[in-house]
């Protein structure tokens, strides 16, 4: 009987992206990660590609995650709890040249130690600006995720900046540069919301 009630409750729960999302913590050191209580989805990509904007779009909040006017704004692992169910982890952008070397090494250390050792991490969303070419760090991240067999989705974002034909052409180039099949990536715009439902569907496949 109890089981049935629990089941009914679960069915009534809104999807995690539609519930309330709250900021939990900014983490600068892996020793200070929050308790591993929820499955986690991490958002990675070069500086300024639109990681924070993508997270805001997924959870229907315009400004919960700070969007940069200057690249390199997000320097910590920012944890957001969606619907009391999933941690969304906005990672610092990689590859921002103007950051002092020492700080840069600390950041990369923070990102890589999180990615390699975080037990509840279920999926990494790798975000790439559709107008760019595949950069060495994007390639490294994608091949590392493949090697580790960590589930990931690649998102080519800011598609609103290109016409349809150009989008397809750029997507082909990026696929070739990263060694991806079209099923492993999708096109997205944080401005128009295009690709959002598809991305949510893909992420749900990776969650328990």
- What is the total count of residues that contact ligand GTP (CB under 6 A)? 22
Q: How far is the CB of 24 from Mg ion (least distance, A)?
A: 16
Q: Quick one: 54 or 180, whose CB is closer to Mg ion?
A: 54
User: Using CA atoms, how far apart are residues 52 and 61, in angstroms rounded to an integer?
Assistant: 11
**Judged by CB, which is closer to ligand GTP: 104, or 191?**
191
CB of 113 to ligand GTP, least distance (A): 19
Using rule CB under 6 A, residue 198 touches ligand GTP: no
Q: Residue 8 burial by CB count (10 A; 0-12/13-18/19+): exposed, middle or buried?
A: exposed
Helix, strand, coil content of the chain in percent (nearest 5) = 40, 20, 40
Among 44, 58, 88, 93, binds ligand GTP (CB under 6 A): 93
State how far the Cα of 127 lies from the Cα of 45, in Å rounded to an integer. 5
Residue of 52, 78, 167, 170 interacting with ligand GTP (CB under 6 A): 52
Q: Is 21 in the site for ligand GTP (CB under 6 A)?
A: no
CA distances from 164 to 87, 168, 187 (A): 33, 6, 11
Under the criterion CB under 6 A, does residue 160 sit at the interface with ligand GTP?
A: yes
Distance, C-alpha 157 to centroid of its chain: 11
Q: Which of 74, 157, 167, 189 binds Mg ion (CB under 5 A)?
A: 74
Pick from Mg ion, ligand GTP, none: which does 167 bind, CB < 5 to 8 A by kind? none
Tell me how far apart the alpha carbons of residues 179 and 32 are, in angstroms, rounded to a whole number.
35
Give the Cα separation of 121 and 115 in Å (integer). Answer: 8
Binding partner of residue 157 among Mg ion, ligand GTP, none, CB cut-off 5 to 8 Å per kind: ligand GTP
| Encoded tokens for 122 | 């279920």
Partner touching 104 among Mg ion, ligand GTP, none, CB below 5 to 8 Å by kind: none
- Tally of CB atoms within 10 A around 207: 15
- Residues binding ligand GTP (CB under 6 A): 45, 47-53, 67-68, 71-74, 93, 157-158, 160-161, 189-191
């Amino acid at each position: 009987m109890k089981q049935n009630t629990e089941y009914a409750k679960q069915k009534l729960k809104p999807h995690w992206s539609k519930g309330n999302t709250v900021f939990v913590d900014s983490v600068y050191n892996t020793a200070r990660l929050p308790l591993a209580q929820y499955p986690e989805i991490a958002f990675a990509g070069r500086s300024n590609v639109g990681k924070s904007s993508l997270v805001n779009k997924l959870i229907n909040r315009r400004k919960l995650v700070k969007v940069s006017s200057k690249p390199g704004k997000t320097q910590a692992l920012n944890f957001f709890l969606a619907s009391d169910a999933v941690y969304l982890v906005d990672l610092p952008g990689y590859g921002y040249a103007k950051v002092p070397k020492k700080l840069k090494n600390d950041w990369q250390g923070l990102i890589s130690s999180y990615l390699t050792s975080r037990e509840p991490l279920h999926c990494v969303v790798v975000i790439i600006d559709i107008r760019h070419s595949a950069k060495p760090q994007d390639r490294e991240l994608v091949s590392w995720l493949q090697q580790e067999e960590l589930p990931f989705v690649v998102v080519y974002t800011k598609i609103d900046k290109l016409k349809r034909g150009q989008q397809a052409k750029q997507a082909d180039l990026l696929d070739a540069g990263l060694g991806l099949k079209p099923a492993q990536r999708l096109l997205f715009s944080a401005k128009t919301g295009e690709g959002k439902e598809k991305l949510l569907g893909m992420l749900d496949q990776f969650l328990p």
